[in-house]
């Protein structure tokens, strides 16, 4: 059984994340999408809210597990018997940070491979912080996030 971890902040999950996840499940028997707890970030959505939104967004995929973790990603991957970490690569601007993480993770645990997947071109300019900003300022994010996330954003920013 080939298991991959798809880690991130997912604050909130976007259609770009879902695009990557859907590609990953064609390659692995099971994908664990997991929120990394990070005390230095101040997320818009609580961990529980983010988990709920992900659960709702991925519920049709039976081979996907939704989870969160604390500590090193490579330790978590080992605990989950995963052999791969999936990350999305949208543009060259992502590359430096992603390569640094991938190489550091490989140094920490050579048994876990990082697999980069490219989303559909329509998501290359999309990320969670832009979605939060557009939504906060009253813009339309319908094309960028699942319906359940749109509703949660509206609630956060008190749109009627
Ligand atoms: O969605 P993000 O914020 O780009 O995801 C970053 C994430 C969660 C993948 C990264 O911060 C991470 O792996 N955190 C867990 C702690 C860890 O293992 N740090 C060392 C990475 S080299």
pLDDT tens digit string along 75-84? Answer: 999 999 999 9
Angle at 58 between CA 7 and CA 16, to 5 degrees: 60
The residue to mutate among 71, 73, 80, 129, having the most atoms of ligand 1 within 8 angstroms of its beta carbon, is 73
pLDDT tens digit string along 13-33? Answer: 999 999 999 999 999 999 999
**24 near 117, Cβ under 8 Å?**
yes
When divided into structural domains, the chain yields a total of 1
pTM: 0.97
pLDDT of the residue at 160: 59
Range of the domain at 90: 3-156
Share above pLDDT 70 across residues of the chain, in percent, rounded to a whole number: 99
**21 near 61, Cβ under 8 Å?**
yes
Minimum CA distance residue for ligand 1 atom 3:
9
Q: How far is the CA of 32 from the centre of ligand 1 (A)?
A: 15
Specify the CATH number for the domain of residue 138: 3.40.50.620
């Amino acid at each position: 059984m080939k298991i991959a971890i798809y880690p991130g902040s997912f604050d909130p999950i976007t259609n770009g994340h879902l695009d990557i996840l859907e590609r990953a499940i064609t390659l692995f028997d099971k994908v664990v999408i997991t929120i990394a707890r990070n005390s230095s970030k101040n997320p818009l959505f609580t961990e529980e809210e983010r988990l709920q939104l992900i659960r709702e967004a991925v519920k049709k995929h039976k081979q996907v597990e939704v989870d969160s973790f604390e500590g090193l990603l490579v330790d978590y991957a080992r605990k989950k018997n995963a052999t791969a970490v999936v990350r999305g690569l949208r543009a060259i601007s992502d590359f430096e940070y992603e390569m640094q993480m991938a190489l550091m993770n490989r140094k920490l645990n050579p048994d876990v491979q990082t697999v980069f997947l490219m989303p559909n071109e329509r998501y290359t300019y999309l990320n969670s912080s832009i979605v939060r900003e557009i939504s906060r300022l009253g813009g339309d994010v319908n094309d960028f996030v699942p319906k359940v996330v749109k509703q949660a954003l509206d609630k956060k920013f008190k749109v009627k």
